[in-house]
């Protein structure tokens, strides 16, 4: 019994400590944003309790910056990126997993190698390409470079490799083409993995700052990550409380989305393994 209690306390103690370190920035930002009187925001740990609680700073966020425009732009860019990534990575992952063609292993190895490169390496060639196409300061220019997802191809390939061979063979014997087999058999069986990829891609696109900051100039086209940063490093930088209120509002949509779709991460893979 003592060993069980010690093991229980150790597990929950470690998880609580990890949760505290993870939530620390958000909880502090929320407390500062809710403190009408900002005089005590640097006094720890007292600053974790809002001083004279109120929503004045949050109201100023909506009044002094086009917050909803930024949010709408982020939703547009993120949704288009998710749709494009899924449309490209699902067929590519299926081909690498289920089709036998010359150079398959080499092609997959090259894709994996791109995962080792920092994203900043592609900024200059991507900007030159987008400029030549006349897509600078456009939504399409901000979306296109993010559609090539080596991680998405890797995830889809590994997932499609777990499809039961008897199901694939039965569909082929019945005369199903590879495209029909992909969309009518493989994709429905792989919805948990596809949903996971969609969520990861959505969060990554929502939080992306560097590329949209490079390619988008017009304020009305900026996503929330770029727009809020530009505003908070400009005329509003003198107010820490306003900065914290805007930061909290910027991350709330992602938190709500993840909370609503977390079952896709927790759902076990229902497909039997090969062999």
Please tell me the predicted confidence (pLDDT) of residue 273.
Answer: 38
Burial bucket for residue 17 (CB in 10 Å: 0-12, 13-18, 19+): exposed
pLDDT band for position 79 (50/70/90)?
A: very high
Instruction: Give the residue from 194, 195, 176, 193 showing the smallest Cα distance to 185.
Output: 176
Close Cβ partners of 73 (under 8 Å, ≥ 6 residues apart): 139, 221, 222, 223, 224, 227
pTM metric for this prediction: 0.81
The DSSP code sequence of 148-166 is --HHHHHHHHHHHTTS-HH
Mapping DSSP to helix (H, G, I), strand (E, B) and coil, where does residue 53 land?
A: strand
Q: What is the pLDDT of residues 150-188, one digit of tens each?
A: 999 999 999 998 888 888 888 888 887 888 888 888 888
* Stated length of the chain: 275
**Average pLDDT value over all residues in the chain:** 84
Q: Quick one: pLDDT at residue 132?
A: 93
Compute the distance between CA of residue 154 and CA of residue 145 in angstroms, rounded to an integer.
18
- Is residue 267 over pLDDT 60? no
Is the pLDDT reported for residue 213 higher than 80?
Answer: yes
* Whole-number Å distance between alpha carbons of 28 and 37: 15
Query: Residue 216: is its pLDDT beyond 90?
Result: yes
Asked if pLDDT for residue 193 goes beyond 50, the answer is yes
Which pLDDT score, from 0 to 100, does residue 179 have? 87
Residue 254 has pLDDT above 50, yes or no: yes
Res. 275: pLDDT tops 80: no
| Percent of the chain at pLDDT exceeding 70 | 93
- Scanning the chain, the segments in alpha helix (DSSP H) are 2-34, 56-64, 67-98, 104-114, 123-132, 139-143, 150-160, 165-173, 178-181, 187-189, 191-207, 210-215, 224-232, 240-261, 263-266
pLDDT at 236 exceeding the cut of 60: no
Q: Which residue has the higher pLDDT, 52 or 265?
A: 52
Assign residue 52 a region (left: φ > 0; alpha: ψ between -120 and 50; beta: otherwise). Answer: left
**Tokens read off for 21:** 């370190």
Give the pLDDT band of residue 264 (cuts 50, 70, 90).
low
Residue 21 is classified by DSSP as H
Q: Convert the pLDDT of each residue in 82-112 to its tens digit.
A: 999 999 999 999 999 888 888 888 998 998 8
Instruction: Work out the pLDDT band at 78, boundaries 50, 70, 90.
Output: very high
CA distances from 223 to 32, 58, 82, 129 (A): 24, 19, 15, 21
Could you tell me the domains of the chain? 2-54 (no CATH), 66-266 (1.10.3720.10)
Query: Does residue 121 register a pLDDT over 70?
Result: yes
CA 109 to chain centre: 24
């Amino acid at each position: 019994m003592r060993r069980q209690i010690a093991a229980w306390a150790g597990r929950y103690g470690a998880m609580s400590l990890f949760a505290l370190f993870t939530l620390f920035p958000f909880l502090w930002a929320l407390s500062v944003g809710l403190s009408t009187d900002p005089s005590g925001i640097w006094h720890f740990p007292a600053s974790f309790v809002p001083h004279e609680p109120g929503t004045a700073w949050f109201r100023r966020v909506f009044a002094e910056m086009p917050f909803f425009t930024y949010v709408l732009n982020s939703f547009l860019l993120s949704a288009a990126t998710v749709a494009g990534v899924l449309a490209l990575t699902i067929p590519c992952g299926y081909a690498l997993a289920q089709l036998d063609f010359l150079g398959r292993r080499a092609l997959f190895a090259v894709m994996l190698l791109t995962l080792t490169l920092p994203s900043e390496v592609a900024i200059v060639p991507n900007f030159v390409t987008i400029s030549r196409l006349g897509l600078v300061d456009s939504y399409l220019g901000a979306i296109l470079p993010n559609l090539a997802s080596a991680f998405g191809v890797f995830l889809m390939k590994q997932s499609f490799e777990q499809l039961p061979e008897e199901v694939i063979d039965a569909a082929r014997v019945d005369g199903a083409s590879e495209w029909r087999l992909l969309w009518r058999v493989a994709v429905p069986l792989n919805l948990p993995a596809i949903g996971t990829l969609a969520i990861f891609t959505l969060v990554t696109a929502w939080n992306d700052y560097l590329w949209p900051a490079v390619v988008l100039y017009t304020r009305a086209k900026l996503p929330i990550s770029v727009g809020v940063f530009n505003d908070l490093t400009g005329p509003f930088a003198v107010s820490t409380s306003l900065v914290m209120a805007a930061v909290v509002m910027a991350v709330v949509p992602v938190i709500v989305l993840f909370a609503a779709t977390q079952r896709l991460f927790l759902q076990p893979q229902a497909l039997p393994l090969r062999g």
